[in-house]
Amino acid sequence: MAERIGFMFAGQGAQAVGMGRDLYQASGAARAIFEQANDTLKLDLTRLCFEGPAEALTQSRVCQPAIYTMSMACLAALREALPVQPVICGGLSLGEFAALTAAGVLDFESGLKLVAERGRLMEEACRASEGAMAAVLNAPSDQVDSICAANGVDVANYNCPGQLVISGENNRIAQTVDALKEAGISKVIPLQVDGAFHSRLMEPAGRKFAEVLATTKLNAPTCLVVQNVVGKQVETPEDI
């Protein structure tokens, strides 16, 4: 029986100073990805990944192309060593763009430009508001939904049973955390992001990015892709 391999790609918040340095040194294919990213963006993204500072690497306009580039460098290094073809790809939020690239929907340069613009627009929205996110563990989703609604906060991600992410204005997140704790939900972890992603505060960025996507050519995927919003497999550029 042929092996059935799937690829999963990380989202924003997975960044770390030093990421990719070992790949750059060990893999010619990974090194080429980093250098192409530098040339495409006219930015020394490689230095920011390898040396930081962490504050710069956390900013959406840097973080998003950096994680996307890191993801594709990992994939390039893997394929340099092994003739691997996935049957399905997926990613969390930002990681969905790496999944689409791995599935042939976008080429690396087109994906990088999209992600860089997405990061720029989201950072613009972040600067227009003061937002935060937090993971909520081991809590009933309907109870978290209710507490968030009462405090004007959005549930950003239903990651898996027992893990939700909430998103909203700083003060409202603080109120919601207090309310969760009063309800006996104590495992709440702040996330390393610079804004309230997947919340109503990102709507201005979403509207502007929709205009960019409307003019972007998408290829038919070479394998199945699972998308976050619909939570199911998609097979055509129209669906994507």
Q: Which residues are catalytic?
A: 93, 198
- AA identity, residue 34: F
Helix (H, G, I), strand (E, B) or coil at 40: helix
Side-chain-facing half-sphere of 96: CA atoms under 13 Å: 16
Q: Which helix (H) or strand (E) holds 122?
A: helix 108-127
Going by C-beta distance under 8 Å and a sequence separation of 6 or more, which residues neighbour residue 218? 100, 105, 106, 237, 240
Q: Look-up: residue for tokens 């599935």?
A: 103
Give bridge partners of residue 225 from the DSSP assignment: 89, 234
Rounded to an integer, what distance in angstroms lies between the CA atom of residue 175 and that of residue 152? 10
- AA identity, residue 127: R
Rounded to an integer, what distance in angstroms lies between the CA atom of residue 21 and that of residue 24? 5
Backbone angles phi, psi at 79, to 5 degrees: -70, -20
Rounded to an integer, what distance in angstroms lies between the CA atom of residue 198 and that of residue 168? 9
Question: Using an 8 Å Cβ cutoff, are 6 and 89 in contact?
Answer: yes
Question: For residue 81, how many other CB atoms are within 10 A of its CB?
Answer: 11
